[in-house]
Structure 1
Amino acid sequence: MAKGATFAALRHRNYRIWALAGFVSVIGTWMQVLGVNWYVLKETGSATSMGFAVLLQAAPTLLLSLWGGVLADRLPARPLLIAAQVAHATLAAGLAAVALTGVGGLPLIFAISLLTGAVSAIEGPVMGRWSSTLVDRETLGNALALGSLTNSAGRILGMSLGAVVVAAVGPALLFGINAASFLAVVVALFGVRQGALHGHQVAPPDGGRSRGGVRAGFAYLRGQPVLLLALALAFVLGSLGRNYQVTMAAMSEGPLDAGASGYGLLSTVFAVGTVLGALVAARRRELGYRTLVTAGLLASALQIVAGLAPGTWSFAAVILPIAAAAVVIDTTVGTRAQLDTDGAMRGRVLAALAVTGSVSAAVGAPLLGWLSEHAGPRQTLVLAGSVAAIATVAAAVALDQQRGRGLILTLVGSPLRWPVRRVARSAAPIAQPAGAVGGGQLTLRPVLMPAGDSPQAAGVSPADLTGPALAPTCR
């Protein structure tokens, strides 16, 4: 990919079709998210109940994503994805019916939310593995970054339009629009030219391992120390440095005294930052481990600065690059998860990435909330940023040892290299496979073409219940 080719992936016809469908679908997704939140809040008057609905959609990821990864590695993707879109559309239509008639009420809303999360958990790895066949290896990272851009822009537009619609006519229309949006994904699945797909789904000669199920996926991951280190770093950065919906609210109500309007401003700035981050990632010639470490250090340092920000606007100025760095981190981890893994195991690796994102949110959000309440929002940001920075440097040293390269020498300088190495040395061999490392250097076996999350998103992004698909259309 030529340097600076921000939209290089769009030269692929199949990807253009998929990206357009993804954008339509993401808009519908966020309309539905807003509609469910509004309906539950109106019926109960409880933010806790609203959070419970969100939890019901996220929880199945922990239980079902790994099985979705197995399906992604074993079965043809397109029939599974078409079935998933039909299921999503049916569930969204069910929400519309409840909102219009009141039949079933909140219990049915919660049940549909749980089923929606279950479909998304199974669909995510399948979506990620199949969608990466739309581009060649050189433009995979760019395609992932553009997927993050699609998700961020669709989120902003979906939430903005949804707010207008729900105020005017209520949430039923939002659910109906989301149900119709899945038609765009089905049309795209049929519109993609099979002959133009890249050969990511061809299993390697030892592809029989794809029959090993979930246990085989865990065994494979145990033999990939570099990938495990990247996932561990993503977990720390995600749990301590990315749950800004919690810390932004705590800062707005506390030290900044900005109230609801200030929280809305900060949320908008954060959303803009994710768009900028996606553009930065798209312009990168290569998304490697050095990029991951650099973005992690930047986000962690800025988090400390955010805790010291005196006012709302200065806090917003720091939030913007933090959001951008978060997207770069997500995109880089998703790219490495696809490029540096065995083709027969890629669906299960993507499932592990989705689970990592969900667990980091589930652990980090209540932890940061508790710290903000008992230690103070500023102290929480400084403490979490400091821990994240230390973890990033430790992971960098361990990656340096495993890969036999001077990854951190140019990042933190040689004076810091050796003292930190002693701390991180115990982390490096945690999953060192027999025969895989010789002389301190890891030999990776990337397949010819990656297949495979924001994403989200996204994986996903974190991005909010999505896996790491090229165009984040999975729910």
Structure 2
Amino acid sequence: MSLTASTFRALRHHNYRLWAGADLVSITGTWMQVLGVNWLVLTITGSATSVGLSLVMQALPTLLLGMWGGALADRLPTRPVVVAAQLAQAALAAVLAVIALTGVRSPLPIYAVALAGGVVSALGGPALGRFGAEVVPREDLPNAMALGSIINSAGRILGMSVAGMMLPLTGNAVLFAANALTFFAVIVAVMRMRSSEFHELAAEEHRPGAVLAGLRYVARTPWLLVLLALSIVLGSLGRNYQVTMAAMSAGPLAAGAGGYGLLSTVFAAGTVVGGFLAASRPRLTIRLLLISAFAISVLQALSGLMPSLAAFAAFMLPIAAGAILVDTTVSARAQLDSPDAMRGRVLAALGMAGAASGALGGPVLGWLSDSFGPRLALQVGGVSCVVATLLAAAALARFRKTATGPAPARVAMENA
């Protein structure tokens, strides 16, 4: 991996620098809250399945409302939608802090907040993604996505590390309150951006049927359907490590909260490596996606055999790096190879695929971990992802040979 000036080319843009800085602050707080919520639910219930159920609560609204959020993103100015979503998420984090302070011994209030947060993400997430695409020119968008992965990973490392140190000392409430404050960093950054330096995408005309039009576009775009299906399988059975890392740490590795925090930090370090790999590449192709997906699926199956915390953590690093290559490539190809006026709805489809991953994978892996042990859960998931990757490769190869029709479809196959 060679780091050159081109690796960081998106940072040349003033608006992206503000966006990146605010993103780092916000993501740090988010991952502090993630660790706090997961550990709080696990402490209350003693069940990995219950942790998985909290992921379902977050994912369900995106499955049901995601395309409506995408249609809004393609019609409305993105800046006010982004600010409103940040204010709502800050309020929900404050509610979590209150729940933790009251010492509630039921997960139901936590599930309720997770569900409300899912609604905010469903309606505001596509606008957030579209806004992020407007702070850089089109040619720098893949690089901005890759740098965003690095920022996400750095925030995850900071958030998990800080939370791991603070959790035994301060409890969960302080983690949630800190996260509430971080959303205001995004609001300040958005307000300070230069309007003259935005690269606005073509907007959808105000007409009825925008949601159906988005669904029809996805259904009639075979290569996009394959990428979305592969993302669902990889995300659900392949990378739901919020569940399996907690289960491995609390179960066969006997490492407790400290071990869970260490595994989360190692995983985040791997995503940093993956982000730099993606940022240093001139093009993100479907071939890169498939190779990375196959490699991490094999590694996941093998990770279930690891006898110690150190050995298991060693597998987490390359798995995380490959996961970032996969995710960044899927997002880049889905966005750049689709019409600009459809960007919000394509982002919504990606979000729905991610939500489906959480809704399916969290409970399934949690049930497998509780019933048969987390080792078998990892092995079953890894083998399933290998099969899914091979099927996707075969389908995309067939589409490439027969690619005709609209220009975006041909471009997508050329980028394979």
Q: TM-score range by the shorter chain?
A: 0.7 to 0.9
Q: Which residue of 2 aligns with 1:450?
A: none
1:445 and 2:407 aligned: yes
In 2, the alpha carbon distance for the partners of 1:368 and 1:37 equals: 15
CA RMSD of aligned residues (A): 3.1
Give 1:87 shift: 1.9
In 2, the alpha carbon distance for the partners of 1:126 and 1:341 equals: 16
Q: Which residue of 2 aligns with 1:454?
A: none
In 2, the alpha carbon distance for the partners of 1:340 and 1:152 equals: 26
Q: Which residue of 2 aligns with 1:400?
A: 397
Give 1:234 shift: 1.2
Determine helix, strand or coil for the equivalent of 2:407.
Answer: coil
1:357 and 2:354 aligned: yes
Give 1:49 shift: 5.6
Q: Which residue of 2 aligns with 1:130?
A: 131
Q: Which residue of 1 aligns with 2:193?
A: 192
Q: Which residue of 2 aligns with 1:294?
A: 291
The amino acid of 2:202's aligned partner reads V
Q: Which residue of 1 aligns with 2:202?
A: 202
What is the 5 A alignment of 1:17-416?
17-37=18-38, 44=44, 46-47=46-47, 52-99=53-100, 109-199=110-200, 201-203=201-203, 207-208=204-205, 211-249=208-246, 251=248, 257-260=253-256, 262-309=259-306, 311-372=308-369, 377-404=374-401
Q: Deviations over 1:48-77 (max 9, x none)?
A: 666554443332222221111110011111
In 1, the alpha carbon distance for the partners of 2:111 and 2:313 equals: 34
In 1, the alpha carbon distance for the partners of 2:50 and 2:381 equals: 28
In 2, the alpha carbon distance for the partners of 1:304 and 1:222 equals: 32
In 1, the alpha carbon distance for the partners of 2:31 and 2:324 equals: 18
* Residues 372 and 81 of structure 1: CA distance in aligned 2, closer, same or farther (over 3 Å): closer
The amino acid of 2:184's aligned partner reads L
* Residues 161 and 209 of structure 1: CA distance in aligned 2, closer, same or farther (over 3 Å): same
Aligned 8 A contact 1:74 1:211 in 2: no
Q: Deviations over 1:133-177 (max 9, x none)?
A: 111222211111111111121122123223444443444433332
The amino acid of 2:211's aligned partner reads V
In 1, the alpha carbon distance for the partners of 2:279 and 2:149 equals: 9
Aligned 8 A contact 1:6 1:282 in 2: yes
Give 1:280 shift: 1.1
Q: Deviations over 1:321-346 (max 9, x none)?
A: 11111111111111111101112211
Determine helix, strand or coil for the equivalent of 1:6.
Answer: helix
Runs of at least 5 residues in structure 2 that lack an aligned partner in the other structure: 410-416
The amino acid of 1:226's aligned partner reads W
The amino acid of 1:185's aligned partner reads V
Give 1:271 shift: 2.0
Aligned 8 A contact 1:210 1:345 in 2: no
Give 1:253 shift: 6.2
Aligned 8 A contact 2:63 2:355 in 1: yes
Q: Which residue of 2 aligns with 1:422?
A: none
* Residues 219 and 209 of structure 1: CA distance in aligned 2, closer, same or farther (over 3 Å): farther
* Residues 102 and 348 of structure 1: CA distance in aligned 2, closer, same or farther (over 3 Å): same
* Residues 176 and 300 of structure 1: CA distance in aligned 2, closer, same or farther (over 3 Å): closer
TM-score by length of 1: 0.76
Q: Normalized per residue, which structure has more helix? A: 2
How many residues are treated as equivalent by the alignment? 405
The amino acid of 2:403's aligned partner reads Q
In 2, the alpha carbon distance for the partners of 1:172 and 1:56 equals: 20
The amino acid of 2:232's aligned partner reads F
The amino acid of 2:57's aligned partner reads L
Aligned 8 A contact 1:73 1:210 in 2: no
In 1, the alpha carbon distance for the partners of 2:361 and 2:405 equals: 34
Moved more, 2-11 or 373-382: 373-382
Runs of at least 5 residues in structure 1 that lack an aligned partner in the other structure: 405-439, 448-475
* Residues 305 and 222 of structure 1: CA distance in aligned 2, closer, same or farther (over 3 Å): same
The amino acid of 2:236's aligned partner reads S
Give 1:225 shift: 0.8
* Residues 444 and 289 of structure 1: CA distance in aligned 2, closer, same or farther (over 3 Å): farther
* Residues 375 and 49 of structure 1: CA distance in aligned 2, closer, same or farther (over 3 Å): closer
Q: Deviations over 1:295-328 (max 9, x none)?
A: 1111122223334445443333222111111111
Aligned 8 A contact 1:342 1:445 in 2: no
In 2, the alpha carbon distance for the partners of 1:167 and 1:375 equals: 30
Residue identity over aligned pairs, in percent, reads 53
Give 1:119 shift: 0.9
Give 1:129 shift: 0.9
Determine helix, strand or coil for the equivalent of 2:93.
Answer: helix
The amino acid of 1:187's aligned partner reads V
* Residues 100 and 252 of structure 1: CA distance in aligned 2, closer, same or farther (over 3 Å): closer
* Residues 83 and 308 of structure 1: CA distance in aligned 2, closer, same or farther (over 3 Å): closer
The amino acid of 1:69's aligned partner reads G
The amino acid of 2:407's aligned partner reads R
Give 1:39 shift: 5.4
Q: Which residue of 1 aligns with 2:412?
A: none
Determine helix, strand or coil for the equivalent of 1:22.
Answer: helix
* Residues 210 and 375 of structure 1: CA distance in aligned 2, closer, same or farther (over 3 Å): farther
* Residues 193 and 257 of structure 1: CA distance in aligned 2, closer, same or farther (over 3 Å): closer
Q: Which residue of 2 aligns with 1:421?
A: none
In 2, the alpha carbon distance for the partners of 1:315 and 1:192 equals: 43
Moved more, 325-334 or 171-180: 171-180
Q: Which residue of 1 aligns with 2:413?
A: none
* Residues 444 and 139 of structure 1: CA distance in aligned 2, closer, same or farther (over 3 Å): farther
The amino acid of 2:21's aligned partner reads L
